[in-house]
A and B are shown apart, each in its own frame.
Chain A
Amino acid sequence: LAKTTQPISMDSYEGQEVNITCSHNNIATNDYITWYQQFPSQGPRFIIQGYKTKVTNEVASLFIPADRKSSTLSLPRVSLSDTAVYYCLVGEGTYKYIFGTGTRLKVLA
């Protein structure tokens, strides 16, 4: 049974880089890792997705080691508006997706 775990919460200051890890020990060979951001009373929003090594887009980077049993979302120079809950999402079996436990990020001024 796939299980994804994340730190419950993190605090950071504006302008700092934040790294959030997700452990997914039973990830399937062909599965990708996707990260979502969720603000209160809103649906999750896609941030980034990757399969291995490193992926970067305009808002984040995703680092995935060779064994793919974990992944790290990196947010460069966070601002107050990055305060949200961050979830990793991996597949479990056929067409089933499991959200990680979620990390509540609080960015302080």
Chain B
Amino acid sequence: DAMVIQNPRYQVTQFGKPVTLSCSQTLNHNVMYWYQQKSSQAPKLLFHYYDKDFNNEADTPDNFQSRRPNTSFCFLDIRSPGLGDAAMYLCATSRTRTYTDTQYFGPGTRLTVL
């Protein structure tokens, strides 16, 4: 009964070659988040969707984009991956954006850039 699913679990791409990571959820939550987590660091929020409303963090590079075609799915697009984009990418969901709402995380996609 997986709740937040990320595909693929491991992704290898070449420098500069666009890549798309996928997240789906069975919780019917309104909010979907994308975090970047580099080795031995805490997750860092890139952006989130509240329903169809996209909310970008100020320090998220333009190289990172996101799409949410429906409630269940959200995609992270990296237009031109650099070596510094190698990381674990975590998708999370929550029912609303209030501070009391728990975020449910997927298992992550580990991105390698060659």
- Residues of chain A touching chain B, judged by Cβ–Cβ distance below 8 Å, are 30-32, 34, 36, 41-46, 49, 87, 89, 91, 95-102
Would you call A44 and B105 a contact (CB within 8 A)? yes
Which of B4, B42, B50, B108 is within 8 Å of A87, CB to CB? B42
Closest partner residue, chain A, to B55 (CB atom): A95
- B: interface residue count bin: 20 to 34
Given contacts A41-B108, A41-B110, contact A99 B99 (CB under 8 A): no
Q: Which residues of A are found within 8 Å of B90, using beta-carbon distances?
A: 43-44
CB distance from A97 to the nearest CB of B (A): 6
A32, A91, A95, A101 pick with most chain B CB within 10 angstroms: A95
Q: Are B100 and A49 in contact (CB under 8 A)?
A: yes
Q: In the assembly, what is the distance between CA of A34 and CA of B41, in Å?
A: 18
Contact B108 A46 (CB under 8 A): no
Q: Is the CB of B102 within 8 A of A42?
A: no
Given A41-B108, A41-B110, A95-B55, A46-B42 contact (CB < 8 Å):
no
| Contact partner, A96, options B45, B92, B107, Cβ 8 Å | B45
Which listed residue, A42, A46, A98, A100, touches B103 by the CB 8 Å rule? A46
Contacts of B100 on A, CB cut-off 8 Å? 32, 49
Inter-chain contacts of B103 with A (CB < 8 A) = 44, 46, 89, 97
- Is the C-beta of B104 less than 8 angstroms from some C-beta in chain A? yes
A29–B57 CA distance with the chains assembled, in angstroms: 22
> Are A95 and B108 interface neighbours, CB within 8 A?
no
Please determine whether B42 and A32 come into contact, CB atoms closer than 8 angstroms: no
Interface centre among A31, A45, A99, by most chain B C-beta atoms within 10 angstroms, is A99
- The answer to whether A43 and B105 touch (CB under 8 A), given A96-B57, A99-B42, A101-B42, is yes
